[in-house]
Chains A and B, each alone.
Chain A
Amino acid sequence: EAGVTQFPSHSVIEKGQTVTLRCDPISGHDNLYWYRRVMGKEIKFLLHFVKESKQDESGMPNNRFLAERTGGTYSTLKVQPAELEDSGVYFCASSQDRKAGVETQYFGPGTRLLVL
């Protein structure tokens, strides 16, 4: 079974440009999470989808970040316009149905974003 995949693995853009990150969760996982790790800091929660619905987006830094999950499958995270402080590693994770009691989140390899 394929794990969580993310694309691209690296992205280098200039300030003011737009970047879209993609995450494909493990098949059948209803829950999808986005996290970010800025250099030297903790990994921070950004938001949580249950199927196609945003369950919790309390961690989104500001309105330059837009996340979508079309049809409850893959998810995209768009940053527009990108700022220098957006640089970091963006992780995606997925988990099975909450009610099943299996809460382990499985992580993708991350996308390294560098804004110049």
Chain B
Amino acid sequence: AQTVTQSQPEMSVQEAETVTLSCTYDTSESNYYLFWYKQPPSRQMILVIRQEAYKQQNATENRFSVNFQKAAKSFSLKISDSQLGDTAMYFCAFMKRYSGGGADGLTFGKGTHLIIQP
């Protein structure tokens, strides 16, 4: 079974600062995906960024980037030039992928509540 750990229950930074959210995971699988989801106060959870485990290059989506360290089983999210709209719960998630293209449900961490201060 997989586990995902987010060690920062809450973080607060000033607008325009850079913030890094940590995530570690434990698995014996070699083929998997990692995700960061964001849930703003309005409740709809949306995908921020996705990383395939077989790719060495870190994924980037505009101001969001990850630091994927497969050997260390670490998957941190960096938000550059943070904005007020980035205030949300951020969830790190793991998904095992099968060779035939299938996948399991997601395993989530407990989440990090990120607050961007004006």
Contacts and interface: CB of A to CB of B under 8 A. Distances in A.
A112 B35 CA distance: 24
B43 to A, nearest CB: 5
B107 interface: yes
B43 A105 contact: no
Nearest to B110: A42
Interface string B102-114: 1111111111000
Interface residues of A, number: 27
A56 B105 contact: yes
Given A91-B45, A107-B44, A41 B105 contact: no
A99 B99 CA distance: 10
A103 B47 contact: no
Given A43-B91, A103-B97, A48 B43 contact: no
B64 interface: no
Contacts of A103: 33, 95, 97, 103
Contacts of B106: 33, 35, 43, 45, 93, 105
A88 interface: no
B102 A98 contact: yes
Interface residues of B, number: 27
Contacts of B105: 33, 35, 45-48, 56, 59
A56 B91 contact: no
30 contacts: A35-B105, A41-B110, A42-B108, A42-B111, A43-B91, A43-B108, A45-B104, A45-B105, A48-B104, A56-B105, A93-B106, A98-B98, A98-B100, A98-B101, A98-B103, A99-B100, A99-B102, A100-B101, A103-B95, A103-B97, A104-B35, A104-B50, A105-B47, A106-B47, A107-B44, A107-B45, A109-B42, A109-B43, A109-B44, A110-B45
Given A100-B101, A103-B95, 18 more contacts: A3-B44, A35-B108, A42-B4, A42-B108, A42-B109, A45-B105, A47-B105, A56-B105, A93-B106, A98-B98, A98-B103, A99-B102, A101-B101, A104-B35, A104-B47, A105-B47, A109-B42, A110-B45
Closest 5 CB pairs of A and B: A45-B105, A107-B45, A43-B108, A99-B101, A98-B102
